[in-house]
Structure 1
Amino acid sequence: MHMPDEVDESDCCGNGCTNCILDNRPAPSQRALLAGKRNVIENYARFRLLSNEAMNGDAQVRILHFGHTLTEDADDDDDSILDIPPGHHIMLRAELAGHAVLRPYSPYWTDFVGKQFKIVVKLRAGGPMSDYLATLQPMQVLQFRGPIGNYAHDASRAKCIFIIAQGVAIAPTLPLVAEVLDNEDDMCCIRHLICAQDLQHVYFRDRLLDFAQYWNYNHCLYLAHQRCAFCADGCDESCEQLRKSLRYRETVHTGRLDANRLASHRPVSSSNAAAAAPIVIISGHSSFQQAMRETAASVLAVPDEHIFLL
């Protein structure tokens, strides 16, 4: 079985990633080993852009869809798959102005056999990689490597899993939820807490409502700056316009997720999932991750080894 190349300092993007490639080198895929195939992305591999679309009508938030492609002189690659486990990211490497620029991205959708994946990217004005991605056209080829990360779900032990997501960083949490809900034997309960600027910036609402049909899942929206035409100082939870905008099974709170609100989500059931030590997964900007990590450790009494930052 082909093993990934060794990593060196040039493989690090320098952005202080929680799961740095220098600490978590791309590991051989267990699913690939079982299938007798290789994971195409363990070394830098070529992926062709299949589409570049705005999300929710926001041109600054893009859904990028990539598919694996071979070099012109390579033979058909039927002995390979694409395995990016939930909670892991991949590294994009691009040559910009004569320099190699690297950025980590976490796919929210992966096709194991078709070797395709999708990521959500929020473009930031003046950012070298953002400017580059904004102009990408279908059929352009980029290089990715991975998967990088240290989270692995254990379905054998029932527990409560808190998933806290900020803005577009909700995207990589979706496969984590699906991994639990798609397994009928998994007795874990999920508390999905989504922090957004306002209701318009809550992404994947339809997917969240699909998840809400399961007994062991619930989600709550925290809107820091919700405002309608009738609430000059911002909406509160009694705002009629806000209530009319909600869908069935959506729970919303205006303002930020703080310690008191996080404490309100502690399970009170006597079930095995409630009794076991919880897992906390936090996805968002580094400052958001650190703040939520400290809050979760204090409020939920979660040991450090049970807190994972995406």
Structure 2
Amino acid sequence: MPENEVDETDCCGNGCTNCILDNPPKLSQQALLAGKRNVILSYARFKMLSNVVHNGDEQLRLLHFVYVASDDEENDSILDIPPGHHVMLRAELAGHAAPLLRPYSPYWTDFVAKEFKILVKLQPGGPMSDYLAALEPLQVLNFRGPIGNYVHDSSSPKSIYIIAQGVAIAPTLPIVAQVLDNEDDMSCIRHLMCVKDLQHVYFRGRLLEFAKYWNYRSCLYLAHQKCGCGAATCDELCVHLKKELRYNERARRLRLDAMQLAAQKISSNQNGSIVIIAGNSTFQRSIREQAIIAFKLSDENIYLL
């Protein structure tokens, strides 16, 4: 069976937006051009290099993995996980008759060193969460991919609206970097984060690095942020909230809706607009409906991660 073919046992059964049965691992164009193979097309062994608590929250872990080659394997391979794609973890757990499968979206990948990093939010009592929480460096896990349907065309500049919920900001980072790192890409990005409060904004330093580029702007939507002004709502101009923000950060103490989305509309001569939504299924459905209203887009211009 070809490496990128799948069967029913490859599905985790959690109703993923990009199910592996609908979006089987794709052959890597970069690997084909380099005359190499993508190691992750079928289940491959990856050694964990670190399991680090993120943002001071024990339930958030940054996991770092590197590919483990067999003793007789030639060095003719790479690791290609395109931005907006995820990988499937397959774990054999004691007490479970069948392997557990869970999708995770890398926020960093090294093409040549064959390494990747994921941000995981552990769920207390969850079998996979308990398994990942107890992982120690040098343990080996099995992953395959890449799985997804998002492809960026840098030759056709667009207005790109990226909307993320909580920890789902992680897989949106390489999508942003893909545009900003290409000096010839004239696409403009609006990066909108929906979180509880400032303490739940992840990768703030990375977002501030993005803010240095002319074609990037972000905004934090803080649904439960408390402010010293005492008002029910306020914005980044409020002196009390401003003290909590970092240089170039923009924030609103409210939930994102169609009106707020419309206010983020990019005034430019781009060839079109797309919306990328990262979060749980309820969030994706709600924001998708709001985006259709705000930007008058069709389904083909909306991508769910």
Q: TM-score range by the shorter chain?
A: over 0.9
Residue 278 of structure 1 is matched in structure 2 by 273
Residue 100 of structure 2 corresponds to which residue in structure 1?
101
Q: Which residue in 2 is equivalent to 1:306?
A: 301
Distance 1:77 1:109 in 2: 25
**Equivalent residue for 1:246?**
245
**1:79 correspondence with 2:96:** no
Q: Distance in 2 between matches of 1:108 and 1:250?
A: 21
What is the CA distance between 1:241 and its match in structure 2?
A: 4.0
State whether residues 222 and 255 of structure 1, in contact with CA within 8 Å, keep that contact through their aligned partners in structure 2. Answer: yes
2:38 paired residue number: 39
Structure 1: segments with no counterpart, 5+ residues = none
Report if aligned partners of 1:3, 1:28 keep a CA contact under 8 Å in 2: no
Rounded Cα–Cα distance in structure 2 between residues aligned with 1:167 and 1:247: 19
Q: Report what 2:88 is aligned to.
A: 91
Instruction: Give 3-state SS (helix, strand or coil) of 1:171's partner.
Output: helix
Greater CA deviation, 294-303 or 81-90? 294-303
Give the distance between the partners of 2:89 and 2:232, measured in 1 at CA.
39
Instruction: Give the corresponding residue for 1:205.
Output: 204
Q: Which residue does 2:7 correspond to in 1?
A: 8
CA distance in 2, matches of 1:288, 1:52: 28
Shift of 1:236: 3.6
For 1:303 and 1:261, the matched residues in 2 are separated by: 19
Distance in 2 of aligned mates of 1:151 and 1:63 = 24
2:124 maps to amino acid:
A
TM normalised by structure 2 equals 0.95
Structure 1 residue 8, shift from structure 2 partner: 0.7
Q: Name the counterpart of 1:141.
A: 140
Question: What does 1:48-127 correspond to in 2, within 5 Å?
Answer: 48-71=47-70, 74-96=71-93, 97-98=95-96, 99-127=98-126
Taking only aligned residues, the RMSD between alpha carbons, in angstroms, comes to 1.6
Superposition map of 1:129-168 within 5 A: 129-168=128-167
SS at 1:49's partner residue?
strand
Equivalent pair of 1:106/1:172 in contact (CA under 8 Å): yes
Q: Which residue of structure 1 lines up, in the alignment, with residue 287 of structure 2? A: 292
Alignment check: 8 A CA contact 2:179 2:187 kept: yes
Give CA-to-partner distance per residue, 1:116-140, whole Å, 9 cap, x none.
0000000111111111111111111
1:165-185 CA distance string (max 9 Å, x none): 010100000000011011111
Deviation of the 1:95 alpha carbon: 1.2
8 Å Cα contact 1:226-1:235 kept in structure 2: no
Give, as a single letter, the amino acid of the residue that structure 2 aligns with 1:185. Answer: D
Is there any run of 5+ residues in structure 2 with no aligned partner, and where? none
Distance (whole Å) between structure 1 residues aligned to residue 226 and residue 72 of structure 2: 56
Question: What one-letter code is carried by the residue in structure 2 that aligns with 1:80?
Answer: S
Identity of aligned residues (%): 65
**d(CA) in 2 for partners of 1:116, 1:158:** 30
Displacement after TM superposition at 1:277 (Å): 2.4
CA distance in 1, matches of 2:185, 2:264: 20
Aligned length: 302
**Aligned 8 A contact 2:106 2:171 in 1:** yes
TM-score (norm 1): 0.94
SS in structure 1 at match of 2:3 = coil
